Amino acid sequence: MWGGRFSARPSDLMQAINASIGFDQRLAAEDIAGSKAHATMLAAQGIITASDRGAILSGLDAILSEIEAGEFPFSEELEDIHLNVEARLKARIGEAGGRLHTGRSRNDQVATDFRLWTRKHLDLFDGLLGDLMAALLDQAEAHAATIMPGFTHLQSAQPVTFGHHMMAYLEMFARDRGRMRDCRKRLNESPLGAAALAGTPYPIDRDMTAAALGFDAPMANSLDAVSARDFALEALAAASICATHLSRLAEEMVIWTSAQFRFIALSDAFTTGSSIMPQKRNPDAAELVRAKVGRILGSLTALMVVMKGLPLAYSKDMQEDKEPVFEAFDALELALRAMAGMVRDMVPDEARLAEAAGAAFSTATDLADWLVMHLDMPFRDAHHVTGRIVAMAEEKGVTLDALEVSDMQSVESGITDDVVSVLSPLASATSRTSYGGTAPDRVREQVARWRDILE
């Protein structure tokens, strides 16, 4: 493509390190869409003829069909998807194919392709996150009143409902969805027409190509247009946070399915066995989702390091921008699909959850609150009294709601039989009626709110 300046072909090593067609052929559909918009604009501006435009569009459609059918002759010697498509176009339609590159460069071409590809996948993630949120919502609605232990430090803290726990993750994934939508909005400007770095002397219409490709506007600075990869970094950052949330839920699934917890069961569809231990049911899907955050966060770090020291405008280092994004987005797509499947598949063991909810004196805070509300005791004093009663229950080997009222009265004489009404896990959870609390009615309110949003 640059034979006029060079008299010899690059060495095999140069070819090996320079070629990107092995991975950037994934941009084929976006590359052809950008070329069609560019050709249509060139004809509208009188830069090429309508006849050339027609030949170019027909040739590009035929090339896309070849690619989709797996029949396109990709060549490493042509380096990348752009030159592969252009060379094939010239071979198919002749001289008209050589006019397509008028008024643009591979620098603005790849920046446009990459934004289109990233935008398409952000839209995909938006749908996948919506599906995962719907799965969580269904579980929350079905188990709005299912009692389970709430934890801090992975120690039993206060009873909550399973529905409330599911809604916590729904809120996290909703924020992930918002971050990706924000990223999409910021990246949705077109680099096409910035050319190599300085713009072009041809009378192009960048607004026309931007609109044709679904961008909100052309990018306002040609240097920025070909240099910026912050859209990819932002998308990877949002993906990394989302993967972290997926990993946290996956970790809980791993814990909850263990013999020690037995909070939920996953079916054969999302578990595997052991080659030597016939009793095993391993939550491998959850474990693999948990691991994906390393791959995705690694991609963010890799691209950040590539970009950190580059002067404006384009440097060949930026060829390393796509593989981390491709790899991370592939991993995130699979993790989102697997997690939605597992959420729908899991079956909570309500009896076991209720049993665990009452363990480790989880209603101690309810006792302290009762002392404050009924005896007008300062909370710090109530905390101390409750601690003594918990120590007594522990010594007797009983839960708080099984401790005799007379035993409690030996610590605080003002305690009455009414205290028993707040000491069961169900009573504890039901009493948490503040906005955002775990009370079943509050959970159902949030389910209804999110049902309206998602539908």
Alpha-carbon gap, residue 208 to 284, rounded angstroms = 50
Q: Tokens 């050319």 appear where?
A: 195
Is 204 in contact with 103 (CB distance < 8 Å)? yes
Alpha-carbon gap, residue 117 to 410, rounded angstroms = 71
Q: Report angle CA 108, 109, 112 to the nearest 5 degrees.
A: 85
Token representation of residue 387: 């601690």
362 belongs to the catalytic site: no
274 belongs to the catalytic site: yes
Q: Tokens 């306002």 appear where?
A: 220
Alpha-carbon gap, residue 164 to 183, rounded angstroms = 29
Residue 44 exposed, middle or buried by CB count within 10 Å (0-12, 13-18, 19+): middle
Alpha-carbon gap, residue 338 to 42, rounded angstroms = 45
Token representation of residue 426: 């169900």
Catalytic residue among 153, 275, 413, 434: 153
Q: Tokens 């003002």 appear where?
A: 414
Residue 92's region, left for phi above 0, alpha for psi from -120 to 50, else beta, is: alpha
Catalytic residue among 58, 258, 267, 274: 274
Active site residues: 153, 274
